[in-house]
C-alpha cells in the first residue's frame, strides 16, 4: 500500500517535472547560450525607428565602441541632445498644431508616454528646462549582450579591423526591441576569427589570432 | 520503528514508511526524488541573468568606459614622496605605477606604494568623525573643538601638534597659521623610525639641522654602517635607482661602484653589498674612529693620533677600505643609521675629509624626507607627564604605538584637556583621543609634497571620498574660522609660495601644467648650512666591554611602521631576507641558537636589564647575523590587525592567521631606548631567555626548491647553477666569466620545433646585478593580476599564491655571507614540460612565445605543477574570499578571478600585451618597443627587468641577446625559456663560489 503511495507521489513528481520542462523546453539551451534573448526594457526604445528609419549611425549613440572595450549604453544627455526638442512623434505634433490652429490657441507640448519616462528619470517636468533640485537617475536598461566575466571582447579592435556592428549584433536597425541575434558562443567567435584570417575583411588581410589569451586572461 | 544492519545506513521513521518493511529507505527516496526534481532545476539553465546596465546621466568628458586613465600624483606610503601614476578605471583607482619623469624615484615604486589601493578600499578605515570614541558628525565635532580651543587660547594653555615628517609646504603652512593663534604652541615632529641624530649632527657640524640629500649615483665607493638604504632607510626607491646606475658593468666599461656594508643583522642592503662585515651597532663608533684617524693621517691632519686601536674588523681589510675611500675622494659616501649624535658627527667629519659634501651629499638642496626631532618628543613627554599641555593634536603617526613606555604615556595623555587625532583608523592613540577627525585617504584628497628642497609634487583626488572624512587642511581651516576647501587652500598656497620660486609668470598655466605633470622643479628654499665646523668632532670614547647581546630594532620592508599593518598584501609579502610572512620574530645567529639550545620558531623572551619591558617572540636563525646582535622588526602588533584572524579560506582544518586575542606580530617599540636625547634603535642592556614555547613561522623559502632533492641526486650531490655569479676582476678579463661548463641536452631533440613565432616573440631579461630583491615586483604583480591573499596557515602549508617568487640564496661563511636574490616566475619555455603533461590542453603555447594558462579548461590535475622545473605554478586550493564588495573594487577587471581547482601562474601580463596591441591598432601604428611594460617591470626601482619582442631587432631586449652575462636558469635541459637572467657581478677580487645553497 505504502509502496503504491510512494510510487504515485514519485510519478506525480515526474509528471509535473516533465510538464514544467516541456513548457521550459521551448527556449531551453545550454547554460550560457542566450541567443534570442530579448528582455523588456524600461523604455520601449525602438532601434528600428532610430537606426533604421531615421538612419542614425550606431556610433552616434554608442560612441565608445570605437575607442574602447565597451560600446557602452549612451548616457541620458545623449538622448536629450534631440529629445530636448523632439517630445513626441511628428504625426502627433502635427495634429496638435493643426488642432490649436483651428481653436486659435497656442499648441500644447505633446509628450509621448515613452519620452515622459525619459524625462521622469531625469527629473524634468518640462524637457526644455530642468526642474531644479530633482534627482537625475539612470535609466535601468536591461543588458542584452552579456559575455561572461572570463572573456574580454574589445569593440574598438573589431571596428578598427572593419567588422560591421551587424556581424555580431544582427540587423538591429530592423529590431523594435533588441534581441541577441547570434549565439556569441566561443565556437562562433573562433569560426569568425578563422574565416577572417583566411579571407580577410572587405578585402583587407587581417590576422585574427586564435591564441587563447587573446580573449581569456 | 527503525532497524539497522551492518551494510545499510540506519533508516528514519518517515510516516509513510512506518510499519512497512519495504526497502524504500530514506536514501532511495531522496535518490528518486532528487532525480525527478533535478529535471526541473535543469530548466533554470535557460534563463539569462537579468542584469542592469546603468548609463551615466551626463557622460564625463573624455571618459571611455573600460579604458584606464592615468593621473599623476604622489605616493603617500612614506615621506619619501615618490612620483605616482595612478591608473583609474571607470572612476576607481586600481593600479599604482611609478612616474618615469620623477627626478627622484625615476619610475620606481616600492611594495608599499603598489599596495595603496588596498588601504583605500578598506572597510576598517574610519567613515566619520568620532567624539569620545562614538560616531559623531562634523558639525558637532567642530563646535566642541572650536569651543575648547577658544577657552584654551584665552587661558594661554599650551598647544602641542605632533606630526610625522611633513613634506607638504601647504600643510606645514596651515599648521603654522593654526598654531599662531595660541601663545604657547609648538609643532613636534616624530618619525617612528627616526634619523634625528643625522640632523642633530649637522646642526653641530654645519650649523643647521638638516638631512643631506644623498646622491648615490655620484658615489663610486659607498660605505654604509647599518643604513638599509635599499630597503627602508629614508628614500629606498630613489636610492635603489641611483645605486643601480653604477652597478651595471658592460664589456666596454667593466666598472662598477664598490659597496661595503657594516651591520649586525642581515638587511636587504647588506645582502646586496660587495663586501659585508658583521659589526654590532655598538661598535660602529670604534670602526668609524679608526676610519677617521687613518683618513686624517692620509690627509695630513692626523692630530687624532690613534690609528691602530682595537678593531673588530681585520686591520688589513680596514686599510684596504681606507685606500679605496681615499682614492675616491669626492666620489665616496659614508652612510650611517646610528641614533648616536657623536657617531653621526664622525660620519660627517669623514664625509667632509673625503670632500664629499657638495658632491655626493647635497646640503644646498637638502632632503626634507625626515625631519623628526627626538629631543622635542622627549621634551613633550616630560611636559605631558607634568600636566603642562592643554591641547594635543596628533597627525600622521600613532603616538602611543610608536613610542616606548606606553602606559606612562597613556596616563600622561589622560591629563590633557583636548586630545585630537587625525588618524584615518581607530589606532592606539585614537582610542585615547577625545576627538578623531579622520583625514581623507591620500588618493581622495588634494595635497602637495616637497621631499627634496626644490622638487614639489602634487597629490590629486582620484575619487569621491568613500566616507564622511575631511582633509586635514579643511579641519584646521574650520577651527580657525575659515571655510576654504582643500583645493582652494592648496591653490592659494601655491600661488603665494611656489609660483614665486618658479620661472613661470602666469599662475593658471603653472598650476595646470603642475597638475598635469604631478610635479614641478623650482628654486630650493635657501639653505642655511654653514662651513664645516671641525671643532664639533670628537673621537668616540672607547667602548666598554661588549655586552652579551646588542638588540637592534629595524623596520621591515613593506611595513616600515604601524601605518601599513592593516594591509594584507604587505603582511603576506615575504621579507626579502628571512622570507617570513605574517609575523615578526627575533633574528639571531646560529651561535646564540646553539648557546640557548634553540630551534627556529622557539619562543624567546627579550627583556631589558631592569626587567621593566619584555617581549616574547619566536626565534629565527639568520645567516650572517652578528653573534651578539638580536634584531626585531618594528611595525607589528598594531591595534586592529586581529581582523586578519579569518583572512584565509575557511575549511575544516584551516587555522586562523591570528589567534583569538592576539595581533599580527608584537609591537617592539616598548624596547626602544629613549636615552642620549634620541630614540635609540640599539641597546645593549637586554637579556635573552628561552621560554619553552614554540610558534611556527610561515616562511616561503623552505620549499619550491630548484635544487635536486638529496634522495635522487647523484653521489656527492649536484650543484645547479641557478644563480650565476662572478667577480668584477674576473669579468673584466673575461666577460663570460662565471659561466659554468655544462652539457646542454639539446641533441637528440625530444621536442618538435613547432613554435614558429613569426610576428612577435615575447621575452624578458632580468639583470640580477641590478635586482636588489626589494619585492616591489611581487606586489605589483599581485595588484595587476588579482592574486589572492591566503593567510598564515596556508603559507605554512606551502600554498601561497604569489606569481613571482623572490628566491634568496646564501653562499660563503657567516663572516662573509654572500646573498643572491632572484625573481622567479613562469619562464614561458618553448619546450614547456607543463604543456606536455596537461591532459586537457589547459596550458598551451601561443604563437607569440607565451605559455598560456586557460582557466576554464583546467580540471586541476596539477600534473603541470609537478612537472614544472621552476616550481612557479600556483594551484587554487580554494575559492579565496571575495565577499567584501569594497575590497573587490581593487580587482583588475581585465584579469579573471580564478576559482577553486584551477592552476595559475605568470601570464607575462598578457592583458597588457593585448591592450597595447589594440591601442596600436586604434592609433594605426605598429607596436613599438616600450609600448608594453609588464607590471613587475614598470615599477622596478632598479629597472632590472626588460620585456619586449625578441623578433624586433631594434628592441632593448634584442640587444641583451648579445650580453655576455646572459644565461637561462637550468638552460642545460633545453627548455628554451623566454625569460633569461644577467649574471651577478660582485665588485670583489677573490673568486667566490658560484651559485649557492638554498637555505
Is the CB of A75 less than 8 angstroms away from the CB of B921? no
Say how far apart CA B282 and CA B233 lie, in whole Å.
Answer: 19
The pLDDT, as a whole number, for residue A57 is 93
Stretch B888-916: mean pLDDT, rounded? 93
The pLDDT, as a whole number, for residue B19 is 43
pLDDT in tens, B658-711: 988 899 999 999 999 888 888 889 888 889 999 989 998 998 876 556 666 666
Residue B5 has pLDDT above 50, yes or no: no
CA–CA distance from B890 to each of A170, B13, B91, B788, B915 (Å)? 36, 53, 12, 11, 19
Q: Tell me the shortest Cα–Cα distance from A97 to chain B, in angstroms.
A: 31
Give pTM, 2 decimals: 0.89
Average pLDDT score over chain A: 86
Q: Closest to B918 (Cβ–Cβ): which among A13, A78, A156? A: A156
Q: What is the CA radius of gyration of chain A?
A: 24
Selected residue with higher pLDDT from B707 and B398: B398
Say how far apart CA B218 and CA B332 lie, in whole Å.
Answer: 8
Is the CB of A13 less than 8 angstroms away from the CB of B51? no
Q: How many CB pairs under 8 A join A and B?
A: 159
What's the pLDDT band for B999 if we cut at 50, 70, 90? Answer: very low
Residue A55 has pLDDT above 70, yes or no: yes
User: Taking CB atoms and an 8 Å cutoff, what residues of chain B touch A157?
Assistant: 918, 921-922
Is the CB of B43 less than 8 angstroms away from the CB of A37? no
Say how far apart CA B761 and CA B957 lie, in whole Å.
Answer: 11
Residue B48 has pLDDT above 60, yes or no: no
Query: Which single residue is written with the C-alpha cell 573589431?
Result: A158
CB burial of B606-635 (b: ≥16 within 10 Å; e: otherwise) equals bbbeeeebebebbbbbbbbbbbbbbbbbbb
Stretch B83-112: mean pLDDT, rounded? 92
Task: Compute CA B236 distance to the chain's CA centroid, rounded to the nearest angstrom.
Answer: 9
Q: Do residues A181 and A197 lie in contact, with contact meaning Cβ atoms separated by under 8 Å?
A: no
Q: Tell me the shortest Cα–Cα distance from A155 to chain B, in angstroms.
A: 10
Where along chain B do the CATH 2.40.40.20 domains lie?
A: 548-699
The reply to whether CATH 1.10.10.350 applies to domain B68-120 is: no
Q: Do residues A87 and A111 lie in contact, with contact meaning Cβ atoms separated by under 8 Å?
A: yes
What's the pLDDT band for B737 if we cut at 50, 70, 90? Answer: confident
Residue B585 has pLDDT above 50, yes or no: yes
Torsion, Cα B405 B411 B412 B413, to 10 degrees, reads 100
User: Taking CB atoms and an 8 Å cutoff, what residues of chain B touch A3?
Assistant: 20, 22, 24
Residue B590 has pLDDT above 60, yes or no: yes
The pLDDT, as a whole number, for residue A132 is 59
Stretch B528-554: mean pLDDT, rounded? 80
**B743: burial class by Cβ within 10 Å (0-12, 13-18, 19+)?**
exposed
Q: Tell me the shortest Cα–Cα distance from B92 to chain A, in angstroms.
A: 17
pLDDT in tens, B985-994: 998 876 544 4
Is the CB of A160 less than 8 angstroms away from the CB of B894? no
Q: Please provide the CATH number assigned to the domain covering B196-367.
A: 3.40.228.10
Stretch B718-741: mean pLDDT, rounded? 83
Select from 3.30.70.20, 3.20.20.150, 3.40.50.1220, 3.30.930.10 the CATH code of B725-986. Answer: 3.30.70.20
DSSP codes, A152-201: ---HHHHHHTT--HHHHH-SGGG-SS----S---HHHHHHHHHHHHHH-B
pLDDT in tens, B327-349: 998 899 999 999 888 899 999 99
pLDDT in tens, A144-158: 998 888 999 999 999
Selected residue with higher pLDDT from B796 and B42: B796
Say how far apart CA B77 and CA B168 lie, in whole Å.
Answer: 14
Average pLDDT score over chain B: 87
Residue B56 has pLDDT above 90, yes or no: no
The pLDDT, as a whole number, for residue B508 is 92
Q: Closest to B59 (Cβ–Cβ): which among A39, A77, A141? A: A77
Query: Which single residue is written with the C-alpha cell 610561515?
Result: B698
Q: Nearest residue on chain A to B786, judged by CA atoms?
A: A217
Residue B965 has pLDDT above 60, yes or no: yes
Say how far apart CA B859 and CA B873 lie, in whole Å.
Answer: 14
Stretch A15-38: mean pLDDT, rounded? 76
Among A79-88, B54-63, B94-103, which range has the highest average pLDDT? B94-103
Where along chain B do the CATH 2.20.25.90 domains lie?
A: 68-120
The pLDDT, as a whole number, for residue B17 is 40
Residue B306 has pLDDT above 60, yes or no: no
Is the CB of B852 less than 8 angstroms away from the CB of A34? no
The pLDDT, as a whole number, for residue B305 is 52
Q: Do residues B566 and B119 lie in contact, with contact meaning Cβ atoms separated by under 8 Å?
A: yes
Where along chain B do the CATH 3.30.70.20 domains lie?
A: 725-986
The pLDDT, as a whole number, for residue B714 is 62
Selected residue with higher pLDDT from A131 and A208: A208
Q: Over pLDDT 70: what percentage of chain B?
A: 91
Q: Tell me the shortest Cα–Cα distance from A91 to chain B, in angstroms.
A: 29
Where along chain B do the CATH 3.40.50.740 domains lie?
A: 130-189+372-452+461-517
The pLDDT, as a whole number, for residue A37 is 87
Query: Which single residue is written with the C-alpha cell 677600505?
Result: B321
CA–CA distance from B759 to each of A207, B751, B929, B930 (Å)? 10, 22, 14, 17
The pLDDT, as a whole number, for residue B813 is 75
Residue B45 has pLDDT above 70, yes or no: no
The pLDDT, as a whole number, for residue A137 is 85
Residue B851 has pLDDT above 80, yes or no: yes
Is the CB of B40 less than 8 angstroms away from the CB of A67? no
- 3-state SS track over B564-603: HCCCHHHHCCCCCCCCEECCCCEEECHHHHHHHCCCCCEE
User: Taking CB atoms and an 8 Å cutoff, what residues of chain A touch B897?
Assistant: 149
User: Taking CB atoms and an 8 Å cutoff, what residues of chain B touch A146?
Assistant: 48-49, 51
What's the pLDDT band for A22 if we cut at 50, 70, 90? Answer: confident
Q: Please provide the CATH number assigned to the domain covering B548-699.
A: 2.40.40.20
Q: Is B53 on the interface with A (CB under 8 A)?
A: yes
Ramachandran bin of B755, using left for φ above 0, alpha for ψ from -120 to 50, beta for the remaining angles: beta
Fold of the domain spanning B130-189+372-452+461-517: Rossmann fold (3.40.50)
Residue B21 has pLDDT above 60, yes or no: no
The pLDDT, as a whole number, for residue B201 is 92
Q: Nearest residue on chain B to A14, judged by CA atoms?
A: B36
C-alpha cell at B718: 649536484
C-alpha cell at A85: 526638442
Q: Count the helices and strands in chain B (H runs, E runs).
A: 27, 43
Residue A184 has pLDDT above 70, yes or no: yes
CA–CA distance from B559 to each of B110, B116, B193 (Å)? 11, 12, 12
The pLDDT, as a whole number, for residue B15 is 41
What's the pLDDT band for B18 if we cut at 50, 70, 90? Answer: very low
Amino acid at each position: 500500500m505504502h509502496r503504491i503511495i510512494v510510487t504515485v507521489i514519485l510519478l506525480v513528481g515526474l509528471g509535473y517535472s516533465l510538464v514544467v520542462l516541456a513548457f521550459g523546453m521551448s527556449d531551453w539551451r545550454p547554460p550560457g547560450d542566450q541567443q534570442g534573448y530579448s528582455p523588456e526594457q524600461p523604455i520601449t526604445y525602438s532601434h528600428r525607428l532610430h537606426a533604421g528609419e531615421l538612419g542614425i549611425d550606431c556610433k552616434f549613440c554608442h560612441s565608445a565602441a570605437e575607442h574602447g572595450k565597451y560600446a557602452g549604453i549612451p548616457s541620458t544627455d545623449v538622448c536629450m541632445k534631440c529629445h530636448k526638442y523632439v517630445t513626441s512623434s511628428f504625426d502627433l505634433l502635427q495634429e496638435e498644431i493643426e488642432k490649436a490652429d483651428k481653436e486659435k490657441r497656442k499648441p500644447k507640448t505633446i509628450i509621448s508616454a515613452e519620452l515622459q519616462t525619459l524625462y521622469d528619470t531625469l527629473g524634468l517636468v518640462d524637457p526644455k528646462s530642468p526642474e531644479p533640485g530633482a534627482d537625475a537617475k539612470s535609466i535601468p536598461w536591461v543588458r542584452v549582450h552579456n559575455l561572461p566575466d572570463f572573456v574580454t571582447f574589445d569593440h574598438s579592435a573589431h571596428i578598427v579591423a572593419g567588422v560591421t556592428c551587424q556581424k555580431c549584433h544582427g540587423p538591429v536597425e530592423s529590431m523594435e526591441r533588441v534581441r541577441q541575434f547570434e549565439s556569441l558562443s566561443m565556437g562562433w567567435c573562433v569560426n569568425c576569427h578563422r574565416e577572417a584570417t583566411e579571407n580577410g575583411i572587405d578585402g583587407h588581410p587581417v590576422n585574427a589570432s586564435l591564441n587563447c589569451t587573446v580573449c581569456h586572461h | 520503528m527503525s532497524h539497522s544492519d551492518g551494510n545499510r545506513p540506519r533508516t528514519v521513521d518517515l510516516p509513510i514508511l512506518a510499519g512497512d518493511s519495504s526497502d524504500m529507505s530514506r536514501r532511495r527516496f531522496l535518490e528518486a526524488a532528487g532525480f525527478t526534481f533535478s529535471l526541473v532545476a535543469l530548466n533554470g539553465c535557460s534563463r539569462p541573468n537579468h542584469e542592469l546596465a546603468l548609463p551615466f546621466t551626463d557622460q564625463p568628458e573624455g571618459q571611455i568606459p573600460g579604458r584606464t586613465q592615468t593621473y599623476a600624483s604622489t605616493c603617500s606610503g612614506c615621506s619619501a614622496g615618490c612620483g605616482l601614476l595612478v591608473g583609474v578605471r571607470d572612476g576607481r583607482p586600481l593600479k599604482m605605477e611609478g612616474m618615469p619623469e620623477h627626478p627622484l624615484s625615476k619610475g620606481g615604486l616600492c611594495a608599499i606604494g603598489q599596495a595603496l589601493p588596498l588601504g583605500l578600499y578598506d572597510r576598517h578605515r574610519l567613515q566619520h568623525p568620532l567624539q569620545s570614541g562614538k560616531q559623531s558628525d562634523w558639525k558637532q565635532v567642530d563646535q566642541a573643538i572650536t569651543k575648547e580651543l577658544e577657552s584654551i587660547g584665552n587661558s594661554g594653555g599650551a598647544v602641542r601638534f605632533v606630526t610625522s615628517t611633513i613634506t607638504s609646504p601647504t600643510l606645514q603652512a596651515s599648521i603654522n597659521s593654526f598654531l599662531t593663534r595660541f601663545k604657547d604652541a609648538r609643532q613636534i615632529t616624530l618619525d617612528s623610525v627616526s634619523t634625528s641624530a643625522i640632523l642633530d649632527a649637522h646642526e653641530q657640524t654645519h650649523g643647521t639641522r638638516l638631512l643631506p640629500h644623498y646622491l648615490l649615483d655620484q658615489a663610486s665607493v659607498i660605505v654604509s654602517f647599518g643604513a638599509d638604504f635599499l630597503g627602508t632607510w629614508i628614500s629606498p626607491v630613489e636610492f635603489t635607482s641611483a645605486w643601480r646606475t653604477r652597478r651595471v658593468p658592460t664589456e666596454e666599461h667593466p666598472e662598477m661602484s664598490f659597496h661595503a656594508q657594516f651591520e649586525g643583522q642581515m638587511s636587504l642592503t647588506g645582502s646586496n653589498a660587495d663586501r659585508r662585515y658583521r659589526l654590532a651597532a655598538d661598535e660602529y663608533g670604534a670602526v668609524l674612529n679608526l676610519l677617521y684617524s687613518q683618513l686624517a693621517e692620509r690627509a695630513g691632519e692626523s692630530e687624532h693620533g690613534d690609528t691602530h686601536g682595537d678593531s673588530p674588523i681585520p686591520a688589513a681589510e680596514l686599510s684596504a677600505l681606507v685606500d679605496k675611500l681615499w682614492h675616491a675622494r669626492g666620489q665616496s659616501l659614508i652612510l650611517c643609521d646610528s641614533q648616536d649624535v657623536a657617531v653621526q658627527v664622525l660620519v660627517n667629519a669623514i664625509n667632509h675629509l673625503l670632500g664629499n659634501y657638495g658632491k655626493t651629499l647635497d646640503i644646498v638642496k637638502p632632503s626634507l624626507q625626515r625631519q623628526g626631532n627626538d629631543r622635542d618628543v622627549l621634551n613633550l613627554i616630560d611636559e605631558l607627564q607634568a600636566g603642562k599641555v592643554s591641547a594635543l593634536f596628533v597627525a600622521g603617526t600613532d603616538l602611543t604605538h610608536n613610542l616606548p613606555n606606553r602606559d606612562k604615556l597613556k596616563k600622561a595623555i589622560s591629563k590633557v584637556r583636548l586630545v585630537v587625532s587625525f588618524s584615518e583608523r581607530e589606532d592606539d592613540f585614537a582610542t585615547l583621543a577625545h576627538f578623531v577627525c579622520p583625514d581623507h585617504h591620500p588618493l581622495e584628497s588634494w595635497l602637495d609634497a616637497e621631499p627634496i628642497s626644490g622638487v614639489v609634487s602634487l597629490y590629486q583626488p582620484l575619487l569621491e571620498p568613500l566616507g564622511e572624512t575631511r582633509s586635514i587642511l579643511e579641519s584646521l581651516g574650520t577651527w580657525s574660522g575659515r571655510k576654504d576647501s582643500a583645493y582652494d587652500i592648496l591653490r592659494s598656497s601655491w600661488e603665494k609660495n611656489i609660483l614665486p620660486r618658479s620661472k613661470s609668470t602666469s599662475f593658471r598655466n603653472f598650476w595646470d601644467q603642475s597638475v598635469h605633470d604631478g610635479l614641478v622643479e623650482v628654486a630650493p628654499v635657501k639653505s642655511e648650512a654653514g662651513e664645516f665646523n671641525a671643532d664639533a668632532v670628537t673621537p668616540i670614547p672607547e667602548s666598554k666591554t661588549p655586552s652579551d647581546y646588542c638588540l637592534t630594532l629595524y623596520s621591515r620592508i613593506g611595513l616600515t611602521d604601524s601605518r601599513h599593518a592593516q594591509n594584507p598584501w604587505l603582511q603576506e609579502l615575504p621579507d626579502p631576507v628571512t622570507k617570513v610572512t605574517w609575523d615578526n620574530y627575533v633574528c639571531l645567529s646560529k651561535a646564540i641558537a646553539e648557546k640557548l639550545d634553540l630551534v627556529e620558531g622557539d619562543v624567546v623572551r627579550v627583556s631589558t636589564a631592569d626587567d621593566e619591558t619584555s617581549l616574547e617572540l619566536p626565534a629565527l636563525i639568520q645567516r650572517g647575523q652578528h653573534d651578539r646582535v638580536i634584531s626585531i622588526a618594528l611595525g607589528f602588533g598594531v591595534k586592529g590587525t586581529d581582523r586578519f584572524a579569518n583572512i584565509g579560506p575557511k575549511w575544516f582544518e584551516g587555522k586562523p592567521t591570528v589567534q583569538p586575542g592576539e595581533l599580527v606580530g608584537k609591537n617592539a617599540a616598548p624596547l626602544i631606548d629613549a636615552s642620549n636625547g634620541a630614540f635609540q634603535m640599539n641597546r645593549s642592556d637586554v637579556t635573552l631567555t628561552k621560554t619553552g614555547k614554540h610558534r611556527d613561522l610561515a616562511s616561503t623559502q623552505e620549499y619550491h626548491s630548484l635544487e635536486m632533492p638529496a634522495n635522487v641526486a647523484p653521489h656527492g650531490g649536484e650543484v645547479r647553477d641557478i644563480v650565476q655569479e662572478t667577480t668584477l676582476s674576473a669579468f673584466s678579463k673575461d666577460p663570460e666569466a662565471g659561466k659554468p661548463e655544462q652539457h646542454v641536452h639539446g641533441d637528440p631533440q625530444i621536442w618538435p620545433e613547432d613554435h614558429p613565432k613569426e610576428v612577435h616573440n615575447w621575452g624578458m631579461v632580468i639583470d640580477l646585478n641590478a635586482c636588489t630583491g626589494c619585492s616591489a615586483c611581487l606586489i605589483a604583480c599581485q595588484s595587476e593580476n588579482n592574486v589572492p591573499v591566503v593567510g598564515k596557515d596556508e603559507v605554512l602549508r606551502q600554498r601561497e599564491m604569489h606569481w613571482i617568487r623572490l628566491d634568496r640564496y646564501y653562499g660563503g661563511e657567516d663572516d662573509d655571507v654572500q646573498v643572491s636574490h632572484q625573481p622567479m616566475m613562469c619562464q614561458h619555455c618553448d619546450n614547456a614540460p607543463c604543456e606536455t603533461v596537461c591532459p586537457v590542453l589547459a596550458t598551451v603555447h601561443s604563437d607569440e612565445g607565451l605559455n598560456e594558462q586557460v582557466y576554464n579548461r583546467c580540471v586541476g590535475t596539477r600534473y603541470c605543477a609537478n612537472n614544472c622545473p621552476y616550481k612557479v605554478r600556483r594551484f587554487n586550493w580554494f575559492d579565496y574570499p571575495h565577499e567584501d564588495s569594497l575590497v573587490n573594487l581593487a580587482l583588475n577587471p581585465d584579469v579573471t578571478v580564478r576559482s577553486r581547482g584551477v592552476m595559475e601562474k605568470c601570464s607575462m601580463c598578457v592583458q597588457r600585451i593585448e591592450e597595447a596591441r589594440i591601442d596600436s591598432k586604434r592609433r594605426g601604428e605598429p607596436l613599438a618597443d616600450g609600448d608594453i611594460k609588464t607590471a613587475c617591470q614598470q615599477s622596478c626601482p632598479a629597472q632590472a627587468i626588460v620585456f619586449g619582442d625578441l623578433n624586433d631587432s631594434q628592441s632593448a631586449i634584442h640587444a641583451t641577446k648579445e650580453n655576455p652575462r646572459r644565461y637561462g636558469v637550468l638552460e642545460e635541459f633545453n627548455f628554451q625559456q623566454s625569460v633569461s637572467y644577467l649574471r651577478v657581478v660582485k665588485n670583489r677580487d677573490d673568486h667566490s663560489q658560484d651559485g649557492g645553497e638554498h637555505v
